Amino acid sequence: MRQSLQLKIGQQLTMTPQLQQAIRLLQLSSLDLHQEIQQALYSNPLLELAEEYERDKQDSEEPASQEPADAQDRWNKDDGPIPEELPVDARWDDIYPNPTTNLSSPGTEHRDFESFHTVTDSLIDHLLWQLNLTPMSAVDNLIATAIIDAINPDGFLSCSIEEIHSGLTELDVELDEVMAVLHRVQQFDPPGVGAAGPRDCLLIQLGQFAGDTPYRSEAMVLVEHHLPLVAERDYNQLRRKTGYDNDTLAAAIQLIQTLNPKPGEHIGGDEVEYVVPDVRVQKHNDVWQVSLNNDIAPKVCINQQYADLVRRADKSDDNTFLRNQLQEARWFLRSLESRNETLLRVSSCIVEMQRAFLERGPEAMKPMVLADVAERLGLHESTISRVTTQKYIATPQGVFELKYFFSSHVSTNTGGEFSSTAIRAMLKKMIDAENPKKPLSDNKLADLFDEQGIQVARRTVAKYREAMGIPTSSERKRFKQSAC
């Protein structure tokens, strides 16, 4: 065996606090974004509301020398340029806890009411939605469903994997197969879900980082072997046991602090949030036009009075503070722009792929999964998931969460595909039109689909019917008879 040295040149993305901020803003809901902007205004004197800037400019005897956007460019030489495009599609976007909800599929009637309808969703619903979009065998799907059912509201398994396996005797599967499916579920959002406990949860999240992420290996050592000392902040013991210097230890702990020890706590719950559309789509001259709802969050800009003070070239503490705050303000504004650009790109792609839905409603929905949009835009599937979760779009058919447009497919006899959302809409239409004295059974409904060339099993019909809250044929018959 011959040994040799090789020199490799490559590019590596550094996880800076500014990039972390850009990624975090990307996945915030409109309500959370509003709160984030308010917090930024409170903590950074270099930021102000845009309307305050306009008012001050009108009242001032000496007009400001430049517009807010130009003020950002003025300091590029001193503080380093803000990149035109932030790499918010980095793999470590999985490190942030993501409050999520799911909007059930509203019908086309009572649209004005539904635009302000309130929604909440559970962690289980969020996981099942992702499972529905994940390619798996029928057996693995049943195993994954059992695993998800065993996950508590904090995101941890409520029983051991051996207990889950023992409850799957009818499937005749080995423990290794259950473990393999568990590992797939643990890749779902939120990061760290499906862990056996806090230590396992943190290790899963660290494992989702790129292998060359700075201080990832040191953080994994701390979590796996010294988590109690980390919790107690016993830095002397940690340095003695690991041999890490102060800077390495501080950086590794800082990385751990970005993780979420209870990944499920921000999802669902009893709080009710009002649905405010982030995006609007309207048809003008036979062309669907997508636009952002700019009223969902305050408009912010650079405070010119403070920014002008930074032109002093001295080394005083107050000038250094203002210079740092100015750079942070510029990064914050660029992060907001990046969030809006990505949201608009993803929304426009969805509208382009689902034009038939906009024209004719749910029955015309096309099958579409996260990978379809990710491939078109050159983004990671996880990024598409973050952008479409808890972001809403106002359409002529009603207000929907963006992830509503993603659905699995059902095959047709001619080799084509139907969206499961379209199947649900067709199923509801069939039941609404049935003879009240002779309600359609699940078998009959499956036959009706087959007559249209759509392969839908009876158990699939039953699953969709139950998901829409529609009783069985016998229950519908009794209900209609009693109503008469």
| pLDDT confidence bin for 99, thresholds 50/70/90 | very low
Q: 141 pLDDT exceeds 60?
A: yes
Cα–Cα distance, 48 to 55 (Å, whole number): 11
Q: What mean pLDDT do residues 64-81 have?
A: 44
**Cα 14 versus chain centre, distance:** 22
Q: 12 pLDDT exceeds 70?
A: no
List, for residues 237-277, the tens digit of each pLDDT value: 999 999 999 899 999 998 998 898 888 877 765 555 567 89
List, for residues 195-254, the tens digit of each pLDDT value: 988 899 999 999 888 888 899 999 999 999 998 888 888 889 999 999 999 899 999 998
Q: 179 pLDDT exceeds 90?
A: yes
Cα–Cα distance, 193 to 152 (Å, whole number): 10
* Sequence-distant (≥ 6) Cβ neighbours of residue 391 within 8 angstroms: 29, 30, 278, 279, 343, 347, 401, 402
Instruction: Find out whether 151 and 191 touch, Cβ atoms under 8 Å.
Output: no
| pLDDT confidence bin for 102, thresholds 50/70/90 | very low
Q: Enumerate domains of the chain plus CATH numbers.
A: 17-25+42-93+296-335 (no CATH), 409-483 (1.10.10.60)
Cα–Cα distance, 186 to 330 (Å, whole number): 36
